[in-house]
Structure 1
Amino acid sequence: MNNFFLENIINEKLSSNKYDDIVPNGLQIEGAKIVKKIITGVTACQKLIDKALFYHANAIIVHHGYFWKDESQYIHNMKKNRLKSILSNEINLYSWHLPLDVHCQLGNNAQIAKKLNISIKGHILPYVFWGTIKNKITGIDFAKKIAEKYQKQPIHLYDNAPLYIKRIAWCSGRGQRFIKEAYIFGVDAFLTGEISEETIHIASELGIHFFSLGHHETEKDGVKSLGEWLSSKYNIDVTFIDIYNPA
């Protein structure tokens, strides 16, 4: 498949042109013209690049790529090594950030709902989803469900929170700053990736369940599902690599 054609079909699928992002979405670094093997992963770290070389891939698709708005423009040390590996091996680097957070089928937040059997009802903010759990569940049991589905124990704050959860809001990645908006909207629980020091006090004083599962864990299923869609629709060789990250 042509490398720019691959970019175009994903841009169309994810409606990338709708988003004013803090990072370029699409083909960030041009490599070989014909893409034969794709590696997908959360972040374009050196370990993922090395895996792409091991599998003789000539394309990498990630959620967290390069050239962020506030990123240093100097190419030193780690950045030099990453770019050298990519450019010298003619690897195409693709990245989709916000478009892959919010897509209604393939996105990170849609995948969270699918995994935890949450019925999506709408948005509180553009990147904050809300929905309902079919059968109300205690916060303790929902934490167990999260641990079972993700094979990782979430941080669960529930001081002063209601016993049962029926309405829940969530935002993959660094969404802890939206807990107040979720509370005002009227939910029993909020789930995200990261947690900050002040979140402990906010959750307790608002009386809301808060679940933190890790930035990586809440954002790996989007790029994985994108790869599965590409493989099934275009019969292209795609392998998802989960580089361990506890954060």
Structure 2
Amino acid sequence: MENLLNIVHQLDETFKIKNFGKDPAFSRYIPQVYEGKFDWRKKFEPEFNEFFNGLMIKGSPKVKNIFLAVFPTKHVLERFIEKGESGDLLFMHHPILMESGDPNGQWGRGFVPIEESLLDQIISKGLSVYTCHIPMDYHGSLGTSHAIAEALNVDITDRFIHDEKYGYIGIIGNVQPTKSEDLSDNLKRIFDVPYVDFEGRKKEINKVAIVAGCGDKTQWMKLAEDKGADAYISGEIHCHIDNDYGRNRFEEVIEYASQTNMSLIGVSHAASEYLVKKTLMAPWFEENFDLETINLIPQKDWWL
């Protein structure tokens, strides 16, 4: 059993939560999705309302079990509420759900708030929630893209997509020569997805570029191609959000895909960011804390 504040302190220090300042995405999207629904600020911790990363809901002070997930889907939160005991902690990447859409099915709604009733159940049961978005994406050894590179045995040679404040989010490196079809099959196995989203050229792959999460930006793809990547691997290569923004982004990538020599492969936004929980964060919690169990909560459908 561990003290909650000890776990929070180590997470804050490991991911440099305060150094990153306000999360650029969720400092905008959280107020937007909850506007007019209920007073979300009263549900969440004051520092979370400032940084939009870190301890989001503070439960009982003693933690026996850790739960790991990516998005706060209804299924994930119901499982946490059902299985969690007072004081247990859910560590997620996103504080709100993002419905990214299915390349073979229904397009998504974008960012979706957590139902107030689910938040109230978490609070009344004495459970805690901690989320870490941008600080995890940019972390050198516990990052979302880094977990993918490790799973593919990538010999990292370069970084790309630089932010002056945060550092690099993308990884480039060499892999054992493989065909794009075989790489796609390997990615389906690693991420446990029934299919990948594919565009571009089918070819032999020697060098890959990796961007976990929402990588459907043609300027990022061009950077990867300029650095010699044969394949661009991301959570999303297409935006499947059902609005003007999503459709415009989709058309941009379609146009780029008709010209690029790379293979563009999407493994789903959620699955691409879940891998770090399974392969890096679960061992990190086990090594650093005296806990009874560490529990993974995968999503029912990776292609939301």
**Is the shorter-chain TM-score for this pair beyond 0.5, marking a shared fold?**
yes
Question: Which residue of structure 2 aligns with residue 105 of structure 1?
Answer: 141
Aligned residue identity for 1:131: G
- The answer as to whether partners of 1:26 and 1:96 remain within 8 angstroms in 2 is yes
Offset, 1:141: 2.1
| Counterparts of 1:151 and 1:67, CA distance in 2 | 20
Q: Relative to structure 1, is the Cα distance of residues 171 and 232 closer, same or farther in structure 2, using a 3 angstrom cutoff?
A: same
CA deviation map 1:161-211 (0-9, x unaligned): 6x3222211111101212122223332111111123232321221221100
- Provide runs of 4+ in structure 1 moved above 4 Å: none
Q: Relative to structure 1, is the Cα distance of residues 217 and 78 closer, same or farther in structure 2, using a 3 angstrom cutoff?
A: closer
Question: Which residue of structure 2 aligns with residue 36 of structure 1?
Answer: 64
Question: Which residue of structure 2 aligns with residue 155 of structure 1?
Answer: 197
| Counterparts of 1:33 and 1:88, CA distance in 2 | 14
| Counterparts of 2:122 and 2:84, CA distance in 1 | 12
Question: Which residue of structure 2 aligns with residue 72 of structure 1?
Answer: none
- The answer as to whether partners of 2:149 and 2:171 remain within 8 angstroms in 1 is no
Question: Which residue of structure 2 aligns with residue 86 of structure 1?
Answer: 122
| Counterparts of 1:6 and 1:79, CA distance in 2 | 26
Give secondary structure in 1 for the equivalent of 2:301: coil
Question: Which residue of structure 1 aligns with residue 235 of structure 2?
Answer: 193
Offset, 1:241: 1.0
| Counterparts of 1:95 and 1:47, CA distance in 2 | 17
Q: Relative to structure 1, is the Cα distance of residues 78 and 233 closer, same or farther in structure 2, using a 3 angstrom cutoff?
A: closer
| Counterparts of 1:39 and 1:148, CA distance in 2 | 23
Aligned residue identity for 2:295: T
Matched, 1:25 2:80: no
Matched, 1:56 2:84: yes
- The answer as to whether partners of 2:191 and 2:272 remain within 8 angstroms in 1 is no
| Counterparts of 2:115 and 2:192, CA distance in 1 | 32
Q: Which runs of 5+ in 2 are unaligned?
A: 27-51, 99-112, 162-167, 240-249
Q: What TM-score, normalized by structure 1, do the two folds share?
A: 0.86
Aligned length, in residue pairs: 236
Residue 206 of structure 2: which of 147, 166, 173 is its match?
A: 166
Percent of aligned pairs with the same residue?
A: 22
Residue 180 of structure 2: which of 109, 118, 139 is its match?
A: 139
Aligned residue identity for 2:144: N
RMSD: 2.2
Give secondary structure in 2 for the equivalent of 1:106: coil
Q: Mean Cα displacement is larger for which, 143-152 or 237-246? A: 143-152
| Counterparts of 2:80 and 2:274, CA distance in 1 | 17
Question: Which residue of structure 1 aligns with residue 101 of structure 2?
Answer: none
